Structure 1
Amino acid sequence: MAESSVNFLLEKLATLFEKDVHLFGGVREEAVYLRGELERMKAFLRIADTLQESDEELKVWVKQLRDISHETEDILDEYTLLQGHDHDHGRGIFGSLYRLGCCIKNAKACYRIGSELQAINSRIKEICEVHKRLRHKFRKAEQDPGSDDSAGNTWQDCRGDALLLDKSDLVGLDEPKNQLVGWLFNGSSGREVVSLAGMGGMGKTTLAKQVYDDPEVKKHFEVRAWITVNRSFKFGDLLKDMVQQLFKAIRRRIPQIVANMNDYQLKTTIKELLQNRRYLVVLDDVWHLYEWDAIKYALPSNGCGSRIMLTTRNADVASTTGVLCEGKAYNLKPLPPPESWDLFCRKAFQWNKCPSHLEEICKYILRKCEGLPLAIVAISGVLATKDKRRIDEWDMVRRSLGAEIEGNDKLKDLKKVLSLSFNDLPYYLKSCFLYLSIFPEDHLIERMRLIRLWVAEGFIEAKEGKTLEEVADDYLHELLNRSLMQVATTTPDGRVKTCRIHDLLREIIIPKSRDQNFTTIVKDQSLQWFERARRLSIHSTLQSVQPNRSVSQLRSLFMFGASENPSISKLFPSGLRLLNVLDLQNSPLEKFPVEVVDLYCLKYLSLRETKVKTVPRSIGRLQSLETLDLKHSNVNQLPVEILKLQRLRHLLVYQHEFVSYEHFHSKKGFKVMSNIGVLQALQKLCFIEVNQDGGTIIRELGKLNQLRRLGLLKLRKEDGKALCSSIEKLTNLRALSIASVEEDEIIDLQHLPSPPLLLQRLYMRGRLDALPHWIPSLPSLVRLSLKWSQLKDDPLIYLRYIPNLVQLELCQVFLGDRLCFRADGFRKLKILSMDKFDELRCIEVEMGAMASLEKLSIQRCKLLENVPSGIEHLTKLKVLEFSDMPVDLMKTIRTDGKDNWKVSHIPEVYSTYWREGGWEVYSIESMTDGEYCPLPSNPFSHELQTRWKSWK
C-alpha cells in the first residue's frame, strides 16, 4: 500500500511540474529532490508491501514512508490551492489593496510550504539509509533462503493440510466431484484442461485431491502427478518435482543427471515421458496465466485422452485455459446452508447437536462464513474450546469476529489464506480493494457509484484510448475475476449492477485499512480514530462523531444510514479544506449544505436520495467537480453557474416517478441551460427536459463529444432533425434514452444518415410514424425498449436481424392483430417483454426463432386468445410470465388445460395481477375452478414488486 501512496504522490509531483507552476520559496528545489528519492525507493516497495507483515523493521519503514507520502501530498495540495484560488475581489483601490494583501499572505504561505518540504526531505534522508540496509538484507535472504535474515517464512504454508483432511471434514463434495470425474473421462482424445476456480478457502485443493485419489481415476490414467504452484514458485524446481513424480509413477529410477538439467532439458524429459501415455497432471493453486504458459509446452497433446486439472483463484485463468485448450471450467460454489450447518456442528460440538441457547449466536457466525469451508472449520474449531454453558464467551466471538481473526492464533491460517489474494494484487488494485471497507456490512455496492468514486480518489491510471471510467471498470472486473468481489445483481443484458464483498474478507481489510490510515470507520463513540484520517466513513449515527476533532487532512467523507440531519460545519468546525469526495447519499438532508461550496478540491458530490430542492448559484466555485449526483432528490433546475464546472463528467439530475399503471411519464428530469455545450468533459447527462428552447439545446448537445450516456425528456416532433444531427456527432454514445413530450407526440428520428456504431442501449418512449431505418443496423445494440410507438407495420420484420440484441421490451408498439417471430430472427435474444398490444389476437413462433430466449413476459394483451403458437420450440425458456391477462387464456395452460403440453418444459410459469398498487403472484398450478390462490412467496415476487419503479 505504500507503493500506491508513493505512486500517487509521484503523479502529483509530475502534474505540478508539467503545469509549469511558478514554484518559489524553495518549493521547486525541495520537490525535485523528493521526487528523485521516491523514484529510487519505488522498485523496492513492491517487495516491501508483500513482506512487511513478516518483518517488523520493514513494517515500520513502510509506515514511515507512507506517512511521509501522505504529509507531502497534503503540502502540495495546500500549495496548489493557494496558486489556483480566485482572488478577484473587485476593481479600484480597495480591490487592489485586497489583492496585494492576498499576494503577501500567499508568499508567506509558500515559504512555509517550502520549509515543510525541506523538513520532509530531512526525514527522507534518514529513511534512505534504512532503505539501503533493508535492500541489502533482502538481497542476502534471496541468495540464502535459510539464513537468519530471510523473511516471509514465519508462517508455514498450511494449504497442504487440505490434502490430509479426514473424511469428517468433507461436506458437499459429491456432486462437484462426480461432475469433474465425468469431465476427465469424457471428451475428446486430445489434451484437455479442466479448471477449478473459486475464492481462497473454498475447498478447491480438497476437491481436486478427492478427484485425483478416486479409484476409477487412478485406474483410468496410466500416469499421474500432483504439482503445487505457489506464488513464489521457482520454475526449475517445479519442473524437477514433476520429473521425479513421473519417474516414480512409471516405476523407473530417477537419473542423477536430472539434478543438473536446465529448464529446457527438464521440459523435454517430461514431454518424452508423457508422449505415449494417458496422463493426469494436477497444477494446484495457479495464480496467473504466465504460470500456465511456462509449463504447457511440456505437456503433450498425445491423442491418448490426457487431462490437466488446474485449481485457481482467478476466474480469468480458468476461463482462458479452458478456451485455449478445449477444456471446461468449474466454478466452485459456497456450501449451502444445510451442509454448512452440518459441518459447523461436527467441528464445534463433536458431531452433537447445537444447544438451543447457543443456536442464534452460532447461526449468526455461520452467516458470516457465507459457506466458505475453511472459515467454517477454523471458526467452529475456535468455538469448540469455549465453555458451552458460558453464553457470554460465545457472544464475545459473535460481536468481535474481526478482532478474533486478527488476534487469535487458531485463526491465523484462515487470515493468511484470505490475505494471500490481497497480497498478490498489483499496487493499483490494492487501493481499490481496501476502499471497499468504507461500505457497511451487507451493503450492495453500485457498480457505477464505485467506479466514479475510484476516479475521484485518483486511483485510476490513465490508459491511451480509454476513459478513466473504462479503466476503472477493468479494475472492477479484475477484482471479480480474482474472487475478491462477488456479483450481487446484474442488468437484464448482463452488465454488473451491484456487487459485494465476502463478510470475512471485509473483516480482514477493515483492520488493514485502519492500520494503514487508509480509512477510518466510525460506528460508536468508543472507537478511537486518527487525527490525520484520510477517509472517514460514518455508519448509522452522527452521534458517534467525536466533537472538535481535527480532520484537516480528510480527503473523503461518507455517511451511511444517518437518521440525523448532517451539518458539516457543526460536525467539523475546523473545516474540510482538502476534501475530494463528499457522499451524503440517502441522508435526511432538506437543504443544500452551503459550506460545500468552499470545498475547492471537491471532485465528487452526491446528494442522491435526499430531500434537497435547490442548488445555490455559488456551486460554480467548485472548479474541480467531476461528479454531481442529484438522482432521486427534489432538484429539477440548476443555476446557470453550473456551466463554470468545466471538469464535470457526470451530471445526474432525475427521479423515477410511478403515478399509475397507465402513466406515460416515469421520470422527472431538469431544465438545462441553452449553452450546455460548454461542458466538454461530460460523459453522462441524464435527464434533461428539452421542450423549452429545445432546438438550441439539442444543437448544443452535438458539442458534447465525450458523452457516453444521454437522457432526453419532453422531445417534440420538430426537434427530430436537430437531434439526429447531434447524435451523428456523438461518436462515443453507448446509451440513449428519449421520451416525447406527450404520449401521442411523434418522435421523428428518420434523419440520421448512419447508425451510431457504439450504441448498446436504446430506449424510446413516444409515437413513431415508422421504425427509424437505422435501428436494425446497430451492430453493438444489446438492449432495445420501444414504448407507445403505435406502429401500423409489424416491427419484428425489421428488428429480427439486430445481431447482438439480448433484451427487447415492446409496449403498445403495434396496432395489428398478429405477430410472427420468424425462424431466422433474434438469434441472441434472451429476454422478451410484450406489453399492452390492444389488438393482438395471435402470436406465432416459428421453429428456430429466438433460440436463446430464457425469459418471456406477456402483459395486458386483453384479446390474446391462446399462448404463443410454437412456444414449445423455445427449449431454453426458463421463465414464462403472464401479467393482467384474461383468465380464459390462463385456464388453457393449467395442469388440465388443453395447451399445458406447450409450456410443460418451462421450469417457472407465473401469472400476476396488479391489485391496489402492488403485484399478486400466482402459479398456474394453484388455479382451481377458475380462481387463483396467491403464492405466499416466490423468487420473482420482489422483482415484480419493483418492476415499475425502474420502468423506462
Structure 2
Amino acid sequence: MTVASVKREALEASFLALYDAIKEVNDHHLMFKALVDIRSTLDCIKPLIKETAEDKKESDFPDDELHHFRLQMEEGIELIQKCSKVVPLSTSDTNKLGHLCKSLQRLLDILKVRSIRDVKKTLVMVKNIETKVQQIDLNFGVQSSSSEGIKGWCAIPEPPPLVVGLEGPLKELKMKLFSDKISMLVVTAPGGCGKTTLAIKFCQDGEVRDKFKNNIFFVTVSKKPNLNLIVEELYQSKSSQVPDFPNEVTAVDWLHKFLNQTEQNPLLLVLDDVWSESESLLEMFDEWKMPNCKVLVTSRFAFPRFGSPYNLDSLSDEEAMALFNHSAYLENISSHVPEDLARQVVKHCKGFPLAITVVGRSLCGQPIEIWKKRLSEWSKGSSILDSDHDLLTCLQSSLDALEKQSITIKECFLDLGSFPEDQRIPATILIDIWGESHKLDVDWLCIANLYELTNRNLANLIVTRKDPREVDGYYTEHFVTLHDILRELAIYQSSVESVEQRKRLIIDISGDNFPEWWTEQKCQPINAHLLSISTDGDFKSKWPNMQLPQAKVLILNFQSKKYALPKFVEKMVKLKVLIITKYGLLPAELENFPLLGSLLHLKRIRFERISIPSISKSPVLLESLEKISLFMCKIGQAFSNCSVRLVDLLPNVVEMNIDYCSDLVELPAMLCELISLKKLSITNSHKLSALPEEIGKLVNLVVLRLRSCTDLTELPDSTQSLINLTSLDISDCFSIKDLPQHIGGMRSLETLNMRQCSRLQELPASVVDLEQLREVICDEETSVLWEPFLSVLKDIHVRLVKDDMNLNWLHKFPT
C-alpha cells in the first residue's frame, strides 16, 4: 500500500466518524440550520470519499490539504457532540459550525472537480478507442450494426419525472417546425422556465419521431461553445469516422456536409442553452436554410434577427400546483400539509418552474411550522431566492452575461425592481430616471436598452400602438412588464449590501408597518442614489425621519386617497428626479407640496393620478425644473383664478407632457408664457377643445404634439409664428376641420403627422411654403389632400400608416 493510499484511508476514517456523529444528533437540534447543512453536505461527500479511498492510482490530492481536512473533521466530531447536548447554542458554537460547514463544502467542491475530471478523461479514452475501432472496421470493410450510434453522443436527455404545462407549447412548436416556411425556431424564456424540458419532449414526441426518424440530434451549447467538439459529437452519434479539424473553418465545412447527409429523412438539430456569444453559430444555420434540416434553439436570448421567437410562458395556477405537489411529495397519502397552505407557497413562486421545484424540495418532509415560517419570512420581505442556491445561480448567470456586455444595461435592469408587483411600468418614467442616473441623455437610447433587456428575457417591452417606422420620440404608449421572480432578482441584487451602503433603497410598506431598521436607526445617513417607497391603501402613518444626502431619484408609489410627501424630502439636496404614482382609478390629493421648493437641483417631475392644487394656494418656485409630465392627473383647477405668473415658478422648463388629463377643456393661456419650452405634448385629452391664441409666443418650440385630442376643432392662426417647430403631430384629432391659412409660416417644419384627421377637407395653399417639410404621415383618406401639391413639394414623402392597437396585455395589469 502506498503512502498516499494510507493518507486517503485515514481521511475516510475521520469522515466516517464525523458522519456517525451527525447521524446521532436528534431531530430537535436539527432545527438549527448549520447542523442541517452539515448533514446534507456529508451525505453528498460520502460516495466521493469512498471513491477517493478506493482509488489505486497515485493521488494528486496535496498532502497538506488531506491533513487539513482530516484535522477539521476530528475537531468537528467534538464540536457536534458538544452541540448535541446544549440548547440553545452559543454564538461561538454557531460560528464554529458555520466554519465547519464551509470547510466541508470546499472539500465537496474539490472532490466533485476531481470526479468530473476523471470522468472526462475516461470519456476521452472511450472516444479515442471508439474512433480507432471505427477506423479498423473501415479498413476491413466492416459496417457498424448500430444505426443510432453510441448512446450519449448528442442523445436526447431524459425529461424530469413530471412535466406539466407543455401540451400547448408542444403543439405550437410542431405546427411551426413542420411548416416549410420555418427552418430555425428560437424558444426563449428566462432561465428555469422549462425551455430545455420543452425541447426534450418535442424530440420524444411520436409525430416528431415519425417525421425525423433517427435524424434527431440534441446538442448542449452553453456559454462557451466548442464548435469542433459539437461537430465531433454529431459524427460520433452516427457511428461515422470523426474527421480531423485543424481549424474552425474546416469544422464548419464538415458540419455543412453532415447536415446534408440526411438520406431520405429530414434532420432535426436541437441547440440547447445557446447564449449571445454563439450568435454566429445561428447565423450559419440561417444562411444555409437547408429545406431538409430543422433547427430548434433554446435560449434566454430572443435573437430577433432570426425571426419571431417562441416565448414560453409561466405555468398556470393548476399546473404550478401539480408540479409543486410532486416536488414536495404532497401526493403521498401520509402528507398532512393543508392544501390552502401549499397554495399560498405556490403563489410566491409566480408560475416559475424552477422556483416551484426548488421550494417544493426544500419543504419536502418539513413540519407544518417550517412551512408557516417560510411564508411569514416572505411576507416580511425575505426573498424566495434565499430558498435555494441553484435558483439564484440560474438567474444570476443572466445578469453576469449582461454585465459583460454593458454595466449600464445591468443597472437599468436593477432599477426595474423599484416599482410595485404586477404593474406595468411606463417607459417614460424610465427615460426620466435613466436620463439623470445613467446619463442617457436621448430618449431613444433608453428605449434601446429596454429592447436589449427584452431580447434577453429580463423584461418585456410592450407598445400599445405602433408603426415600426414611426420614430418621432413619442414613447407614451410604451410600457414595460417584469416577471415577479425577475423583480425579486432585481430587488435581491440591490439589497446585498447593508441598508446604509445600498445604491438603491427599495421599501415596501404594508399598512403602517415600517421596516425595523428604519424606525430604529439613529439618523445615520443612507448613501442610496435611488429611493423607492411603496405603500398600500391602509397606510396612514407619519413618516419617520431619514437622511439621504446622495439621492438623485425618488419614486413614491401609493394607493390611498390622500398622500403626504415625506418631510425628509426637503433635505434630499441632490434630488433630480421625482416620480409620484397613485395606483387606482381616481386621482389623489397630494399634501406637503411646498416641500419641493427646497429642492434646488430637481430637474424632472412626473405625477400620475394626482389632483394638482391651484398654484395660487401653494406657489412653489422650481427654478431648476426642466421637464414636467402629468399622466391621468386632475389639472382643471390648477390654473384657475391664478394671480401668480407661471413663468416665475417654472422659468427653465423645456418639456411639458400632459397625457390622459380628462378635465382639461381649454389650455390655459399662462402656459404660453413658458417661452423656454421646446417640447409641448398634450395627448389623449379628449375634452380639450381649444388652444389659446397666445400659443404663438412659444417661439422656441421644436415639437408640438396634440395626438388624440378628439374634441380639438382648430389650431390658432398664431401657430404660424412657431418658426422653430420641426415636428407637428395632430394625429387622431378627428374634429379638426381646417389647418391655419398661414401654416407655411412654420418654415422649419420637417414632419407633419395628420393621420385620422377625417374631417379635414382641404389644405391651405400656404403648405407650398413648407420648404423643409420632408415627411407627412397620413392614412389613405388624408393622403389624397396632398396630391395637388406634390408637383411643387417634390422632396416630400407621404407615408401611409395603419394603426396597430395592442390591447391584449391590459387584463393582466390592474389600474
**Pair in the same fold by TM > 0.5:** yes
Residue 267 of structure 2 corresponds to residue 279 of structure 1:
yes
Residue 703 (structure 1) aligned to one of 682, 700, 703: 700
The alignment partner of 2:338 has SS state of helix
The alignment partner of 2:429 has SS state of helix
For the aligned residue pairs, the C-alpha RMSD in angstroms reads 4.7
The alignment partner of 1:177 has SS state of helix
Residue 399 of structure 2 corresponds to residue 403 of structure 1:
no
The alignment partner of 2:581 has SS state of coil
Paired with 2:282 and 2:417, the residues of 1 have a C-alpha distance of 38
Paired with 1:194 and 1:729, the residues of 2 have a C-alpha distance of 48
Paired with 2:613 and 2:291, the residues of 1 have a C-alpha distance of 72
Residue 486 of structure 2 corresponds to residue 505 of structure 1:
yes
Paired with 1:942 and 1:427, the residues of 2 have a C-alpha distance of 31
The verdict on how the C-alpha distance between 1:768 and 1:294 changes in structure 2, with shifts beyond 3 A counting, is closer
Matches within 5 A, 1:16-35: none
- Measure how far apart 1:362 and its partner are: 2.9
Name the residue aligned to 2:278: 291
Matches within 5 A, 1:524-563: 524-528=513-517, 531-540=526-535, 547-561=544-558, 563=560
Residue 394 of structure 2 corresponds to residue 417 of structure 1:
yes
Name the residue aligned to 2:438: 459
- Measure how far apart 1:671 and its partner are: 0.9
- Measure how far apart 1:709 and its partner are: 5.5
- Measure how far apart 1:555 and its partner are: 2.1
Instruction: Confirm or deny: 8 A CA contact 1:198 1:313 kept in the other structure.
Output: yes
- Identify which range, 177-186 or 346-355, moves more after superposition: 346-355
- Measure how far apart 1:758 and its partner are: 4.5
The alignment partner of 1:168 has SS state of coil
Aligned residue identity for 1:266: A
Matches within 5 A, 1:197-596: 197-214=188-205, 217-218=208-209, 220=212, 223-231=215-223, 233-234=224-225, 238-255=226-243, 257-258=244-245, 261-277=246-262, 278-288=266-276, 291-294=278-281, 296-297=283-284, 301=288, 303=290, 305-315=292-302, 317=303, 319-322=304-307, 329-351=309-331, 358-388=338-368, 392-393=372-373, 395-396=375-376, 398-399=378-379, 402-406=382-386, 408=387, 411-425=388-402, 426-455=406-435, 457-462=436-441, 468-486=442-460, 490-491=464-465, 496-515=477-496, 517-522=502-507, 523=509, 524-528=513-517, 531-540=526-535, 547-561=544-558, 563=560, 568=565, 570-571=567-568, 575-586=571-582, 588-590=588-590, 593-596=593-596
Matches within 5 A, 1:101-140: none
Residue 669 of structure 2 corresponds to residue 672 of structure 1:
yes
Residue 171 of structure 2 corresponds to residue 178 of structure 1:
yes
Matches within 5 A, 1:568-647: 568=565, 570-571=567-568, 575-586=571-582, 588-590=588-590, 593-615=593-615, 619-629=620-630, 632-634=633-635, 635-637=637-639, 639-642=644-647, 645=650
Matches within 5 A, 1:183-202: 183-187=176-180, 192-202=183-193
The verdict on how the C-alpha distance between 1:388 and 1:631 changes in structure 2, with shifts beyond 3 A counting, is closer
The verdict on how the C-alpha distance between 1:493 and 1:802 changes in structure 2, with shifts beyond 3 A counting, is same
Instruction: Confirm or deny: 8 A CA contact 1:607 1:629 kept in the other structure.
Output: yes
| Number of corresponding residues | 602
Aligned residue identity for 1:281: L
Name the residue aligned to 1:661: none
- Measure how far apart 1:645 and its partner are: 4.8
The verdict on how the C-alpha distance between 1:194 and 1:688 changes in structure 2, with shifts beyond 3 A counting, is closer
Name the residue aligned to 2:47: none
- Measure how far apart 1:395 and its partner are: 3.3
Query: Which consecutive unaligned segments of at least 5 residues does structure 2 have?
Result: 1-112, 115-152, 469-474, 519-524, 768-773, 783-796
- Measure how far apart 1:418 and its partner are: 1.9
Instruction: Confirm or deny: 8 A CA contact 2:527 2:549 kept in the other structure.
Output: yes
Paired with 1:460 and 1:398, the residues of 2 have a C-alpha distance of 35
Paired with 2:444 and 2:780, the residues of 1 have a C-alpha distance of 20
Instruction: Confirm or deny: 8 A CA contact 1:558 1:584 kept in the other structure.
Output: yes
Query: Which consecutive unaligned segments of at least 5 residues does structure 1 have?
Result: 1-145, 148-159, 323-327, 463-467, 658-665, 786-800, 808-829, 832-853, 856-877, 879-938, 947-952
Aligned residue identity for 1:537: S
Paired with 2:164 and 2:562, the residues of 1 have a C-alpha distance of 49
Paired with 1:782 and 1:358, the residues of 2 have a C-alpha distance of 60
- Measure how far apart 1:705 and its partner are: 1.2
The verdict on how the C-alpha distance between 1:298 and 1:549 changes in structure 2, with shifts beyond 3 A counting, is closer
The verdict on how the C-alpha distance between 1:404 and 1:184 changes in structure 2, with shifts beyond 3 A counting, is closer
- Between 1 and 2, higher relative CO (CA 8 Å, sep ≥ 6) is seen in 2
Instruction: Confirm or deny: 8 A CA contact 2:686 2:710 kept in the other structure.
Output: yes
Residue 651 (structure 1) aligned to one of 656, 677, 691: 656
Paired with 2:780 and 2:391, the residues of 1 have a C-alpha distance of 43
Matches within 5 A, 1:803-818: 804-807=800-803
Paired with 1:353 and 1:722, the residues of 2 have a C-alpha distance of 81
Instruction: Confirm or deny: 8 A CA contact 1:654 1:668 kept in the other structure.
Output: no
Instruction: Confirm or deny: 8 A CA contact 1:633 1:655 kept in the other structure.
Output: no
- Measure how far apart 1:803 and its partner are: 6.1
- Measure how far apart 1:537 and its partner are: 2.0
Name the residue aligned to 2:60: none
The verdict on how the C-alpha distance between 1:527 and 1:230 changes in structure 2, with shifts beyond 3 A counting, is farther
Aligned residue identity for 1:168: P
- Measure how far apart 1:507 and its partner are: 1.6
The alignment partner of 2:222 has SS state of coil
Aligned residue identity for 2:284: Y
- Measure how far apart 1:636 and its partner are: 3.5
Instruction: Confirm or deny: 8 A CA contact 2:165 2:319 kept in the other structure.
Output: yes
Normalising by structure 1, we get a TM-score of 0.55
Matches within 5 A, 1:747-826: 747-749=738-740, 752=743, 758-759=751-752, 780-781=777-778, 804-807=800-803
Paired with 1:782 and 1:475, the residues of 2 have a C-alpha distance of 31
- Measure how far apart 1:519 and its partner are: 1.8
Paired with 2:426 and 2:286, the residues of 1 have a C-alpha distance of 43
- Measure how far apart 1:768 and its partner are: 5.9
Instruction: Confirm or deny: 8 A CA contact 2:547 2:568 kept in the other structure.
Output: no
Instruction: Confirm or deny: 8 A CA contact 1:163 1:206 kept in the other structure.
Output: no
The verdict on how the C-alpha distance between 1:461 and 1:482 changes in structure 2, with shifts beyond 3 A counting, is same
Instruction: Confirm or deny: 8 A CA contact 1:619 1:641 kept in the other structure.
Output: no
- Measure how far apart 1:612 and its partner are: 3.3
Instruction: Confirm or deny: 8 A CA contact 1:286 1:311 kept in the other structure.
Output: yes
- Measure how far apart 1:193 and its partner are: 0.9
Normalising by structure 2, we get a TM-score of 0.63
Aligned residue identity for 2:273: D
The alignment partner of 1:254 has SS state of coil
Paired with 1:405 and 1:537, the residues of 2 have a C-alpha distance of 21
